[in-house]
Amino acid sequence: MIEKKIEFIGSCLSDLLAEKEIIARYELLQRVYECVRKADLTPEEKVELNTTLGKKHVASGIFFNLLSGEPIFANIPKLDSVMNINDRMFHFVHTGNYTDPDFAKAYNKFQDSGKEIEELVRLNLKDLLVEFMEGAEYHLADESSAKLTFAGPDDRRLDFRIFPTIQEVELVEGMEGSVVIVPHAESPGPFIAFFQEKGKDADLAEIKVWVANMEQGTIDPFIGYPKDLAIYKQFNNPRMAIMVKTNWGRRME
């Protein structure tokens, strides 16, 4: 059965790379998550794939496998070259003999698909968050367009709000005590700006902001910690929020 799922994911990625021979690293990552979601892997299949890929998270493992030069999937081009275009990393096959107009076209296509990718980010962050919370024995109990509510042992509940970038996070009434989930950025600048402008307000409202490193398949605290130790133990780098407050908070004094 796992062979069929691997074949399905490989076919999904092959179709993608046939359409987009030059692809933004960020879009490739989001499309990998999408292909994994469509494969509808069982928990047992995830464990088996993680073992094969040598990673703790399937989408993360597949993403790095694609860029390793030796992908486990048949008929997948080796994305062995990279170029920075307007501060975005793009991957492609070095034998493609691409010219400047090809790279410009790839960048414009990426820009044009911004809304679609933004929606993918939301869905992919939800998948990663569900898996993260399941590790702490929480399940998704309620969902709306604005909020995800997870229920855990002893009737514990925690609300989450997903944003596609840290720049889009707005702290509004009704968010008190909830957790904001955002993806990592290619530079720390947007997070420094958010911390300086809204960090104190988030603290006062007990709004936590956690960052998903989607390439690694991990979530870490940026502002604020959970009260439940089981959730705390799911963090890859639990000291991150302390380091942010110590180092960046000092600059604000």
Q: For position 68, what pLDDT does the model report?
A: 86
Domain 2-112 sits in CATH at 1.10.3400.10
Model confidence, pTM: 0.92
Q: For position 97, what pLDDT does the model report?
A: 87
CA distance 232 to 250: 25
Are 231 and 136 in contact, with CB atoms under 8 Å apart?
yes
Is 119-252 assigned to CATH 3.40.190.10?
no
CB atoms within 10 A of CB 69: 9
Q: For position 94, what pLDDT does the model report?
A: 83
Mean pLDDT by 10 residues, the chain (253 residues): 88 94 96 97 92 90 89 85 93 89 96 95 97 97 92 96 96 94 91 94 95 97 96 96 84 49
Domain map (residue ranges) of the chain: 2-112, 119-252
Instruction: Give residue for tokens 């942010």.
Output: 244
Three-state SS annotation for 73-118? CCCCCCCCEEEEECCEEEEECHHHCCCHHHHHHHHHHHHHCHHHHH
Q: For position 104, what pLDDT does the model report?
A: 96
Q: For position 118, what pLDDT does the model report?
A: 95
